[in-house]
Chain A
Amino acid sequence: MKILFLPLALFFFLNPAFSKTIVFVGDSLTEGYGVAKESAYPNLLPALFKERMEKEVVIVNGSVSGSTTASASSRFRWFLRSKPDILVLALGANDGLRGLSLPESQKNLEDVILLAKAEKMKIVLAGMLMPPNYGDDYRKQFETLFKDLVKKHELIFIPFLLEGVAGVKELNQADGIHPNEKGHKIMAETVYKILGPLL
C-alpha cells in the first residue's frame, strides 16, 4: 500500500496539472509598470513557493496599468478560462487616486468577488491606502471600502499591498509611486505570507 501511495503522492505534487493556479487582477502595481515582466511581484512568487514550500504554482497576471475597478469584472471573465484556484484582487488604487465614486468602486469589486465565489475560488483582496495628501476623511472612507468587503464576504485580506515600500525612495521608481525591483521583492514577501497558507 505504501509503495502505491508514494508514486501517487509524487504525481500529485509534481504534476503541473495539480499545481494551483493563481490569477492576479490588478493595476500597474501588480502588472509591474516600469520593471521587467519577470521582476513584477506576482512572477517572483513561484520561486518563493518552490524554494520555501516546495510547491508549484502557475501565475496568471491579468493586471493592466492604469486600470480601475470598472474593468475588473470583464477582465476576470477572460482569465476564468485558465480555471484559477485563487484570485488575488488588487484593484482600487486608481479609483482612489482619480477621486472616482467610492461606492461605485466597491460595487465593481463586489461583482468580481461574487463571480469568483460562484467559481468556488479562494479570494484574496489586496488593500490599498490613500496618501496623506488626500485628506483624513477621504483616506478613512477608502480604507473602509476594503474592510467592508472583507467583512461582508469573509475574504482573505492583505491590509496594505505596499507595506514597507510606499514612501521609501530607494524602493520606488522616479515617479515615487511605482515600486522598483527591490520594492517588488518586498511586495512578493507580503503576498507570499498571505498566499502560503492557502496552498
Chain B
Amino acid sequence: MSLLRLCLRELSHHPRFVMIFLLNAAIGLIGLTAVENFKTTFNSVLSFRSRALLGADLTISSRGIIPPEELAKAWSSLPTPYQESRSITLFSMATSEQESRLVSVRAIEKNFPFYGELIFDDETTHPNLAGAFLADNEVWIYPELALVLGIKIGDQLKVGDGNFVVKKLISQDAQQAFQEGAMALRLYMNHEGLKRAGLLEFGSTFNERISFRLEDAYVDRAEALAQEINKKLIDPGVSVSSAKDRSEQVGRTLNYLNDFLGLVSLVALFLSSVGLFYLYRSYIHRRREDMAILSCLGLSKTKIFRLYLLHLLILGFCGVLITWIFCLALFPLLSTLLAQVLPFEMPAFAGVRPFLLSFVVGVIGNLLLALPLLKPLLAVRANQVFQNYEAQNDESWLSSLLLGLPWLIFYWGLSVLTAQSWIIGSSFVFVFIAVSLLVFPLGSWVLGKISFLGSNAPLSLKLSLRTLSRFKFSTLSLFLSLVLATLLMTMVPTIERNLQNEISGPGKDKLPSLFMFDIQEEQVDKLKKLVAAEGIELKGVSPMILSRLVSINNEAFVRESDEPRTREEEQEFRIRNRGVNLTFRSALDASEKLISGKEFSGIFSGNFDEFAEVSVEYRYAKRVGIKLGDTLAFDVLDMPVKAKVVSIREVRWTSFMPNFFIVFQPGVLDLAPKTFLSVVPSLDHETKSKLQREIVSSFPNVSLIDVGQLITRVMSIMEQMSWALKSMALLSMAVGFFVLYSLAQHQMTQRERDITLLKVLGLSFNDLRKMVRIEFLILGFTASLLGAFLSLFVTWFFAFLFFDGIWTFAPMPLIYAVVCVSLLCLIVSEVATRKSLAKGAQSLLQDAL
C-alpha cells in the first residue's frame, strides 16, 4: 500500500478530529494573512501620502547648481528606469501695480510633482491638468499673494525683468514646507519663465533640485537609496532626501509605524505559529499509539516518519487552502467595514505576499517542525507508548535543540523577512526563546510541586491538580502557548498606547495657524493687545536667546579647526558651531514630561559663580551626549554662563507650540538681549487674513508664517497613522483571542476521552464540571498573568530598542488580557464539558481519537 493511500485512509478515519484540527490551524493562519495584508496596505497608503510632501521618492538638491559629478553619483546609484524632474527654488520680489512682496519662486517641469498634486481654486489639478501646463509668461500663485498684491486671475505681475500673467490660484499645495517658501508665499513658473525673469546670475542664491520617481518595485528602497547616495557624496552642500526626511515628525512617526507594523506582523506570525506548534505537537502525540502499532506490524521507522510527514504536509496544505478561501471572502468585507471608520480608502488586497506567507508558515514551517516532533516519538518503544509514557522525557535537551535548530533558523529568517528589519526580527526571536526558556523549567518545577498540594483537597480540585501534573508535557505545552499568546496579544496594544501618546496632536482647535518670530521685547505687550482686540489669546510666547554651547563637563563642544574635513565631519563641525537657542521659564509646559531629574528649584540666585539650572530635551541630549548632572558652559553674547543639567525632559513636538532643546531657570538670562516667538491659535480664514494684515502693518519687523495648512496636512497624516496603529492593535488582539480559543478548544477535544472515562467510572456530572473548570481556570489565569507580566518587560525592551524609549506603564491592556483569557478558557471548557457530558459514553469513546 502506498504511503499516500495509507495516509489518506488514516485521515479519513478521524474526520471530526481532522476537521477541528484544520479549522483551528486556519484560525491562526487567517489572522496572520489578515495582519500582513492590512499592514502592507496601511504602509503603502501612508507612504504614498508622506511621499506627497516631497512630491517624489527621493530628491538630490544643492544650494546653487548641483555639481555634475555629484549628480552622476545619484544617476548611477538609482535602479533604472526612473523618471526625473528638475526644479529651481529662490526668493524674489513680485510687484503688482500697487504692491511689492517677497515670494518664493518655484520653477518646475510639466511632470512635477510625481506624488500629490496642486489643486486650484477652480477645482482643476496639476499634473492632471488636461494639456494645460504653464506657458512661459504665466504663473500660478497662492490666493493670499493675490490678496496682498491686489491682483486677480488674468492680471499682470512683475518678477525680476519679466512680466507674467496670473493663470491660476493654488488652493492646496502638498509640497508646502517649513523650510523653503515658509516665509514667503509661493509662485510657480516654468523654467523658460525663470530665464525671462533673469533671476539666475552670478551671486544669485537658489536651490536646484532633481526629483526622482522610482519604479514601484523600488519605492520601498527610497530611504536606503538616499542614505547610500549620501554616503558617496563629497560636496557638503549637496544632499539626497527621501520622503521621510521632509518632515521630521512625519518621518519619525513613519519609522515608528514601520517598526510597530513589523512587530505586529511578528506577533501575528508567532501567534499563528504558537497555535500551529501546539496543534501539531498534540496531533503527533495522539498518533504515537498508531506509530507503535505500525512499527510492531513491521513498518520501518523511516517509512513511519515519511507517513507522518505526509500527514503534516496534507494537513498543512489543507489548512492553508481553507485560509486562502476564507481570506478571499473576508478581506473585501473587512475593507468595506474599515472604510467606514478610516479617514482614507483601503484596498482589500495587498498582493500575494500575505498569502505566500501563510503558505510558508502553514506548509514549510510544518515540515521543519516534523523533525523535532516526530523523531523523539519514533525512538520510543511500543510497550512504553501503551504504558502512557511521555516520550519526550527520554530526550536530552541537546538533541531536542539540535533537532529543532533548522526550525529555529527558519523562523529567525522568516521573522527578519516579515518585520523587514534584521534587528527587529532577531530581537523578537531572542525574546521569544528567552521567554520559552524561562517558562518551561519554571512551569515544570511548579507542576512537580502542585500534585502534593491537593492531597487533602476536595475531589474535583485533587483531580484537576493531578491531571495537570500527570500530563506534564502536555500541560506545559498548553501553558507555554497560553503565556506566549497572552504576551503577544498584550504587547501590541501596550506599545500602541505608548505611541499614540507620542503622535497624537492637541486637537484641531488648538493647532496654531500663524507662527511669529523676531518679536522684540518691547513689542510683546503691544502685540498681545492687538491680538486680544480680536478676541484671541497669543500662545507660547517664549524668549529666545542665541548662545554657543562651549563645553560639556569641561570638554570642548565647539571645534576650532580649519583642517580639510570629510563631508560628514564638515557637517558635524558646522552644526557644533552654529549656536544653540536658549529660553527660560519657571516650570514645565503642558506639552512636556520630566523623564529624569527634578523641576527647577526657583529663581536663580544671581551669583554667576554658581551653576544655573537647565533642563535638556532627551533626544537632543542623546544626540549631543548630555546626561543628567552634567555641567555645561555657554557663551551668551560674550558672557560666560555655567549651568548644570537638573532634568531631562520629553517634548511632545506634535503640540506644534514653540519649544527649545535647552531651557534655563528664570533669573539667568532675563537681561540678555533677546527676541520672542509666539503662535496664534487656529482661526477662520477671514480673521486670520485680517490679523495678518494688522500685524504686518503695526509690527513690520515681525516675521509671520502661515503654518495652518501645513500643520493640518501633517496632522492628517499623523491621524491616519494613529488609525493604522489602533486598527492593527485591535486586529492582533482579535487574532490572539482566536488562537487562544483554538488552543483551549483543542485541549478540550483531547480531554474528552478522560472525561468520558471518569464518567464511566461513576464521577458525578457536577464533580466533572468542577474539575475541568478548575483545571482550565488555573491554566488560563496563571498563564495570562505570567504573559501579561512578561509583556511589561518585553514592551519596555522594545520601546528602548525601537521607539526612542517611549514607554509608560499602561496596566489596563494587561488587566483586560488576564480577565479575558481566564474567562475565555472558562467558557470554552464549560461549553465543551456540557457537550461531552450530553453525549453518550459509547460515542465519545468511539470518536475521541
Contact A135–B574 (Cβ < 8 Å): no
Q: Give the shortest distance, in Å, between B413 (CB) and chain A (any CB).
A: 42
Least CB distance, B144 to chain A, in whole angstroms: 14
Q: Tell me whether A37 and B635 are in contact in the complex, defined as CB-CB below 8 angstroms, given that A65-B546, A174-B237 are known contacts.
A: yes
A16 at the interface (CB under 8 A from B): no
Q: Does A29 contact B (CB under 8 A)?
A: no
Nearest-CB residue, chain A, relative to B703:
A98
Q: Is the CB of A132 within 8 A of B202?
A: yes
Instruction: Tell me which of B100, B203, B571, B672 contacts A131 (CB under 8 A).
Output: B203
Question: Nearest Cβ distance between residue B625 and chain A, in whole angstroms?
Answer: 19
Instruction: For B577, give its contact among A35, A66, A71 (CB under 8 Å).
Output: A35
Also in contact, A108 and B701, with CB within 8 A (given A33-B578, A74-B521) = yes
Q: Tell whether B95 is near chain A: CB-to-CB under 8 Å.
A: yes
Residues of A within 8 A of B658 (CB): none
CB-CB under 8 A from A75, the residues of chain B are: 673
Known: A62-B637, A71-B675, A176-B64. A99 touches B184 (CB 8 A): yes
**Of the residues B161, B200, B521, B570, contact of A135 by C-beta under 8 Å:** B161
Q: How far is the CA of A65 from the CA of B547 in the complex (A)?
A: 10
Is B159 interfacial (CB-CB < 8 Å)?
yes
Docked CA distance A182–B562 (Å): 9
Q: Is the CB of B63 within 8 A of A174?
A: yes
In the complex, chain B residues whose CB is within 8 Å of the CB of A173: 236, 574
CB < 8 Å neighbour of A174 from B90, B184, B236, B675: B236
Taking a contact as CB atoms closer than 8 A, the residue among A37, A78, A98 that contacts B548 in the complex is A37
Q: Which residue of chain A has the shortest Cβ distance to B237 in the bound complex?
A: A174
B102 close to chain A: CB less than 8 A: yes
Contact of A36 with B102 in the complex, beta carbons under 8 Å: no
B509 at the interface (CB under 8 A from A): no
List B94-136 residues whose CB lies under 8 Å from chain A.
Answer: 95, 100-102, 105
Interchain CA distance A82-B370 in the complex, whole Å: 86
Nearest CB of chain A from residue B507's CB, rounded to whole Å: 31
Task: Give A99-140 as 1s and 0s: 1 = Cβ < 8 Å from B's Cβ atoms.
Answer: 111001000100000000000000000000001111111100
Instruction: Tell me the smallest distance from the CB of A75 to a CB of chain B, in Å.
Output: 4
Q: Does B518 contact A (CB under 8 A)?
A: yes
- Number of A residues whose C-beta is below 8 Å from B? 50
Chain B residues near A85 (CB-CB < 8 A) = none
Chain A residue at minimal CB-CB distance from B675: A71
Query: Which residues from chain A contact B560 at a C-beta distance below 8 Å?
Result: 36, 38-39
Q: Does A34 contact B (CB under 8 A)?
A: yes
Q: Chain A residues with Cβ under 8 A from B63's Cβ?
A: 174-177
A195 contacts B by Cβ under 8 Å: no
Interface string of B558-578 (1 = CB under 8 A from A): 111110000000110010011
A34 touches B574 (CB 8 A): yes
Grouping DSSP codes into helix (H, G, I), strand (E, B) and loop, the B interface class, with mixed when no group exceeds half, is loop
Interface size counted on chain B using CB atoms at 8 A: 57
Alpha-carbon separation in the docked complex, A133 to B189 (Å): 14
Interfacial chain A residues near B92, Cβ < 8 Å: 133-135
Evaluate contact between B91 and A137: CB separation under 8 angstroms: no
Within 521-580 of B, Cβ neighbours of A (below 8 Å) are at 521-522, 546, 548, 558-562, 570-571, 574, 577-579
B200 A133 Cβ-Cβ under 8 A: yes
Q: Is the CB–CB distance between A97 and B91 below 8 Å?
A: yes
A68 at the interface (CB under 8 A from B): yes
> Once the chains are docked, how many angstroms separate the CA of A99 from the CA of B235?
30
CA distance A166 to B203 in the complex (A): 7
Q: Does A149 lie at the interface of the complex (its beta carbon under 8 Å from any beta carbon of B)?
A: no
Q: How far is the CB of B230 from chain A (nearest CB, A)?
A: 13
The 8 A CB mask of A64-79 against B (1 = contact, 0 = none) is: 1111111100110010
Asked whether A99 lies within 8 Å of B91 as measured between CB atoms, the reply is yes
- Are A65 and B579 in touch, CB under 8 angstroms? yes
Q: Which residue of B lies closest to A177 (CB)?
A: B205
Question: In the complex, are the beta carbons of A68 and B548 less than 8 A apart?
Answer: no
Q: Interface digits, A14-37 against B, CB 8 Å rule (1 contact, 0 not)? A: 000000000000000001111111
- A135 to B93 CA separation, bound complex (whole angstroms): 7
**A196 interface residue (CB < 8 Å to B):** no
Would you call A164 an interface residue if the criterion is a C-beta within 8 Å of the partner chain's C-beta atoms?
Answer: no
B206 interface contact, C-beta 8 A: yes
Instruction: Knowing A131-B204, A176-B63 are in contact, say whether A104-B548 is a contact too (CB < 8 A).
Output: no
Interface string of B600-642 (1 = CB under 8 A from A): 0000000000000000000000000000000000010110000
B216 within 8 A of A: no
Contacts of A34 in B (CB 8 A): 574, 577-578
Minimal Cβ-Cβ distance residue in A for B575: A34
Contact residue among A95, A108, A131, A180 (Cβ-Cβ distance under 8 Å from B205): A131
Q: Which residues of B sit under 8 angstroms from A74, Cβ to Cβ?
A: 520-522, 673
* Measured CA separation A108–B203 after assembly (Å): 27
A100 touches B638 (CB 8 A): no
Decide if B160 is an interface residue (CB 8 Å cutoff). yes
CB-CB under 8 A from B351, the residues of chain A are none
Interface residues of A in 43-85 (CB under 8 A from B): 60-62, 64-71, 74-75, 78
B-to-A contact residues, CB < 8 Å: 63-64, 90-93, 95, 100-102, 105, 159-161, 183-184, 197-206, 235-237, 518, 520-522, 546, 548, 558-562, 570-571, 574, 577-579, 635, 637-638, 671-673, 675, 700-703
With A36-B560, A181-B562 known, 16 other A-B pairs at CB within 8 A are: A31-B579, A65-B546, A66-B518, A67-B518, A74-B520, A74-B673, A99-B93, A100-B701, A132-B203, A134-B92, A135-B159, A135-B161, A137-B100, A173-B236, A174-B237, A176-B64
4 tightest CB-CB pairs across the interface, nearest first? A99-B102, A70-B701, A174-B237, A176-B63
